Amino acid sequence: MSAQDMENVRARIPLRMSDLHEAFLTPHGTRERIGLEVEAGVLGEATGLAAPYAGPHGMAALLHQVLGEWGGAPQWAGDVLTGVHLPDGTKLTLEHGGQLEYSSPPADDLVTLVTAMQGTMEALAAVAQRHGLAIVPGGNLPFNRVDTATWVPTVRGGVMRTYFAGLGPQGQGAPHIMKLSTSTQTTLDHVSEEDLASKLRVQVAASPVVAALLVNSPLYAGRLDGVLSHRCRDWLRMDPRRCGSPRPALRAPLTAEALTDWALGMPMIYRHGPGGYCLAGARTFADHVRHGFDDGTAPHWEDWLSHLDQIYTTVRVRRTLETRAPDGPPYPHIPAVPALWTGLTYHAPSRAAAWELLRHYTPQESDAAQRALPTDGLATLLGKDSVRDVARHLLGLARAGLQARVHAGLEQSGAVAFLDPLDEILDTNETFAEQTARRWRTTHRGDPSRYVRTHRIPPAG
């Protein structure tokens, strides 16, 4: 029986509490590879407004065209086309507001990863251009309000909106995150439980620093209001129980069992029941395991994996580590994000030095920085220290980590230069958000079409 067949069988077996920690552990022999996810708005060239889902020049039409011209397998949610899985392992999928997400197959080194992303995204930009559309990465859709962007019409999305609406003020940011936000995320491997603990704690401790360094969503509905990251601000109002830092990461000992206990104590948002997607109820996942769902059915392995996907912390922990803290940078600087995380994570001496730098900050100080950074950017304080100073130390460690990987033959020489835009931010004390705001007032003169021309992914050919 193949590994996939075994997983399919396991998905139908009721859960045993003692097995749940296995979702956080990797198979023996996993090597350290790198994955990249780039979310982007697909915007009208003249208006800067996001393309709707339906219509001859909507997101469904774009996906159908990619499927017809490039091949691959469609991804459906009922009768709604939500993505295309390309033959090389790349996935192109839609977020709830129609934002496009590129997900790479895992790569062994950064230059290979980035080259593949650029080739696919620039070819996709050429397809979008035929529809009068531009693909624009960053931290949010800059010219839409929540009520002017359209939802992708999936049942799951509707169930999620119902859940977050029921939270009152603690869920107010959810429509903005689901419909307007974009980011650039890096997925990295761990090879043992001890390795998981070492990497996760550094990534979580560094996340508010990296988010402050990379703020890049200053525009909302075409206006500047002093917020440097609308995306990070909105995450603060999207069910605090399942966002922010994964609490076990900064405690000792950090084990798969500790992560399991933490996730078990959280309520599940939705499940795929006999009648399709539905709310899971207000009880914790541990209660569902002990007593079953409200309809009397027992949770299965696929329910547990789905529950872990419904936890939106700055680092999402599964059999990989998905770093989610920062806004997406402008297109030319996207490689800086995986380069920073790879340099800090995959070189043990840099990782140890980063932990020594960060270990003294308390969870409360980290939370305070997370709350301040949407407006303060590099002026944010982590404890009594400037985020800018801490970021400079981390950037130096990441650069040393990448240089060591180059010397070991694990990276191509060009990987180290991917960090250069972050040095420029620290040298000039001007984040991507502040650069965008300055240009919006000056060279763009408040014109969405000028903004789009500057920030779009260049079409291939």
- Between 5 and 48, the higher pLDDT residue: 48
Token duo for residue 448: 């969405």
- How many CB atoms sit inside 10 A of residue 364's CB? 9
Residue tagged 């405690």 (tokens): 251
Q: What's residue 6's pLDDT? A: 41
Give the torsion sign (CA, 329, 331, 337, 339). Answer: negative
Share above pLDDT 70 across residues of the chain, in percent, rounded to a whole number: 97
Counting Cα atoms < 13 Å in the Cβ hemisphere of 451 gives: 28
The pLDDT value recorded for residue 12 is 53
Listed in order, strand segments (DSSP E) in 324-423 are 381-382, 385-386
Give per-residue pLDDT as tens, 365-419. Answer: 999 999 999 999 999 999 999 999 999 999 999 999 999 999 999 999 999 999 9
The predicted pLDDT at position 27 comes to: 77
Tell if the pTM clears 0.85, that is, is over it.
yes
Mean pLDDT across the chain: 95
Q: What does the alpha-carbon distance between residue 185 and residue 200 come to, in Å, rounded to a whole number?
A: 15
